[in-house]
Structure 1
Amino acid sequence: MADVGFRNPFVLHLMFALTALHLAHCRPDRREQYVTTADHHYERALVLVTPEIVNLNPSNCDAVLLAVQIICFISWGRGPQPGEYLAFGRDKKSDWLMMFRGIRTTSASIERQQFVKTRAPAVQSKNRPLPAQEVPEEYEKQLNELREHVDFVSKDTPDHDDNVQAVDILREMYDNRYQGTDTEYHVTFGWLYRMTDSYLERLQQRDPIPMIIYAHFVVLIRVLDQFWYMQGWTHHVMSGIWELLPREHRAWLDWPIKRVGWVKP
């Protein structure tokens, strides 16, 4: 990462911004100072990286891909923000999701062989599986029932296939995580990566069915609470789903809410 940073100052600025946010987390008595430093480097980086994104090409694709990935971590590292729930927002579209989708756009814009091997997009790792984790109670039964519900309520609508596929891919992510085949904690975000643009747009618009499925995804990211930059996000996102989901659909949140340990208001 450092070698890319020295050749591309916007990556270096983003690394400094993320480091400053980590220091703000570790030294709360100096938080304001470190956050100011993070903001300074972040703003400098955005000025530099924007034209690179516009002119994406084989010579800058590695640096741009790394930059948008770090930007996602910086968004997490700032901590939960009012009205920002990662895959959707309360008053506007999610800034974080726009950056996350930028990873997919960057990857799709350049042929895989143009990326250097160490930063090539999403190639399955051969590392050791994650340590055994507590399996969410009856997740197979819950996801089967969710799929039946989604299939029924989406029947004869243009969104049926997208909705059912979202549950099927989520089930795949659960199985990979809890049957020990995943090799990285953040592989879970592959669910959002694989969702169609139309599905993500409906999630942004707070369509109840995508929101319910998203709540079940939040259970998977609960394990990331152990990392400083994700602390507080799981409960924050679940609270946003609860607040903005119409009451008649909230019964479908009981299982995911219990799994993440969030307390209803």
Structure 2
Amino acid sequence: MKPASRKPHRKTRTGCRTCKQRKIKCDEKRPSCTNCLKHSVACDFFLSPANLSPGSSVASPANSLPQYVSTPSGSVGTPASHAPGLPLPSFSRNLNLPSVRHEPVGLNMIDLELLHNFSVSTCLTLHNDPALKTLWKVNVPQLGISNDFVMRGILAVSALHMAHFLPEKREFYLSQAFNQHQSGLRTATSILPNVTEENCSALYVFSALTLFFSLAGPRDSDQLLGSAGDTGISDWLSLLQGAHSILTTALDALVKGPLGPMFEAGRRRDAMRENYALAFPPEQDPLQELRHFLNSSGVDERTFHTCHAAIEELRKSFAAIYKQGSQDREPSDIFIWLFRVHGEFLGLVRGHSQEALAIFGHFCVLLKLMDYRWWMEGSALQLLSKVYELLDEDHRLWIRWPIEEVGWVPSQEKHKVPAHNGAPFPYQGQ
């Protein structure tokens, strides 16, 4: 009996290099095949297998510039991206370039996609001020070109932006965001103890990008948030403390550097905030009850003064927001409170001081006003719920007003919060 002939297997010669190295079948989907998407690795589909030598490797995100290799002495090199058989451009014929193999260099299309998205979309969602939009569109990417960790922060935030609006590719972009940010964070952390005039702008903008990353990250995954804490509050507050230390160390250099327009705008809005606070009627102050609770709390004198100062700074922020329409508000009008309070207060929050946590709960009312921004969506409620969980039954009475103002309903398993008898804050819904 004649044995059955084996069905010939048609080999593909156009699959990606990653699948070929793993000896698995590539479905050749573009721009990334299914296998590479599944394993969250860069797909070098755009590299032609015919032009890849056995020892060549895929260009990495951090090193995708043209590579040059040696040839016998006396010969003139050509860029690796120059196709063999084509004449060199006239301007390059007389250049004394190192010699190269005639091989194309792969572009990391995922990184280019993320950078493009940041430049045309993400950067425009971070501020209302046209000058600051331009700063994030132009100055910040320029800092990224000369500082790898800043570029990785840019790509991480852009990836979260795309994950937010492309749910069908959410897991893929979340993995890109986490990998990029972790890589940038390692570099930034290593140089943070040595802040200089040369690196202060890059470190400061990376801390700002990290804040956006932390707020916009998935709130059901401590790993992707880069969070090791148990509160969901202390971890991103520590980021602000890092930014504050950079400010105190190199403020003059920051003002004179590429981020100068950001600090000039901040100076103007801070002065406006102080003026609004002076004209803020006491009857419109939503923190009166909070101040009364603190006065009768019996805390030690140092904690009292620290918390009292934090309430007064928060009152200024409420005054500024009350006087502005929603179209005039900037994120800096809200986050400035975290830069104005004493570092000791942030330490009290991170240490779960009941009084400090209750004050932070009132700050969540301001955060809720930024809920329309994709990177803030849901953060205020999440943080307020964390505050609620950490407070004892007596101090939960302190945050009755914030709970009602943001419209949050505590879980039925938790203690019910008594109704608040005070007047609602007048700017809500503006």
Q: TM-score, normalised on structure 2? A: 0.54
Distance 1:139 1:216 in 2: 17
Instruction: Using the TM superposition, give the Cα deviation of residue 148 of structure 1 relative to its aligned residue in structure 2, in angstroms.
Output: 2.3
> Is this contact kept in 2: 1:49–1:64, CA < 8 A?
yes
In structure 2, what is the equivalent of residue 151 of structure 1?
A: 295
1:46 aligns with 2:185: yes
Alignment RMSD, CA only? 2.8
In structure 2, what is the equivalent of residue 90 of structure 1?
A: 230
Percent of residue pairs bearing the same amino acid type: 27
Deviates more, 1:96-105 or 1:42-51: 42-51
Letter in structure 1 aligned against 2:191? E
- Greater length-normalized contact order (CA 8 Å, ≥ 6 residues apart): 1
Distance 1:192 1:114 in 2: 19
In structure 2, the CA distance between the partners of 1:142 and 1:119, relative to structure 1 (3 Å rule), is closer
Query: C-alpha deviations, 1:45-81, integer Å up to 9, x for none?
Result: 1232223312210011111111111011011111325
> Is this contact kept in 2: 1:4–1:11, CA < 8 A?
yes
In structure 2, what is the equivalent of residue 135 of structure 1?
A: none
- 1:170 equivalent among 304, 314, 321: 314
In structure 1, what is the equivalent of residue 284 of structure 2?
A: 140
Structure 1 segments of 4+ aligned residues over 6 angstroms from their partners: none
In structure 1, what is the equivalent of residue 171 of structure 2?
A: 32
- 1:207 equivalent among 353, 360, 366: 353
Distance 1:167 1:93 in 2: 18
1:256 aligns with 2:395: no
In structure 2, the CA distance between the partners of 1:142 and 1:93, relative to structure 1 (3 Å rule), is closer
Letter in structure 2 aligned against 1:6? I
Spell out the pairing of 1:1-265 with structure 2 (5 A cutoff).
1-81=140-220, 90=230, 94-115=234-255, 116=257, 117-120=260-263, 122-125=266-269, 140=284, 142-154=286-298, 157-180=301-324, 183-265=329-411
Gaps of at least 5 residues in structure 2 are 1-139, 224-228, 274-281, 412-430
Distance 1:145 1:73 in 2: 32
Instruction: Using the TM superposition, give the Cα deviation of residue 43 of structure 1 relative to its aligned residue in structure 2, in angstroms.
Output: 2.1
Please state whether the residue corresponding to 2:337 is helix, strand or coil. helix
Please state whether the residue corresponding to 2:408 is helix, strand or coil. coil
> Is this contact kept in 1: 2:241–2:343, CA < 8 A?
no
Instruction: Say how many residue pairs are matched.
Output: 254
Instruction: Using the TM superposition, give the Cα deviation of residue 154 of structure 1 relative to its aligned residue in structure 2, in angstroms.
Output: 4.3
In structure 1, what is the equivalent of residue 72 of structure 2?
A: none
Please state whether the residue corresponding to 2:267 is helix, strand or coil. coil
Letter in structure 1 aligned against 2:235? D
Distance 2:231 2:288 in 1: 33
Query: C-alpha deviations, 1:106-132, integer Å up to 9, x for none?
Result: 111114245412344842249x99xxx
Distance 1:212 1:255 in 2: 11
Say which one has the larger Rg.
Answer: 2
Distance 2:284 2:221 in 1: 33
Gaps of at least 5 residues in structure 1 are 130-137
User: Would you tell me which structure has more helix in proportion to its own residues?
Assistant: 1
Deviates more, 1:146-155 or 1:75-84: 75-84
Instruction: Using the TM superposition, give the Cα deviation of residue 142 of structure 1 relative to its aligned residue in structure 2, in angstroms.
Output: 3.6
Distance 2:268 2:335 in 1: 14
Distance 1:242 1:70 in 2: 28
In structure 2, the CA distance between the partners of 1:230 and 1:139, relative to structure 1 (3 Å rule), is farther
Instruction: Using the TM superposition, give the Cα deviation of residue 185 of structure 1 relative to its aligned residue in structure 2, in angstroms.
Output: 2.8
Query: C-alpha deviations, 1:9-68, integer Å up to 9, x for none?
Result: 111111111111111111111111111111221122123222331221001111111111
Q: TM-score, normalised on structure 1? A: 0.86
Deviates more, 1:99-108 or 1:180-189: 180-189
Distance 1:239 1:106 in 2: 31
Letter in structure 2 aligned against 1:148? H
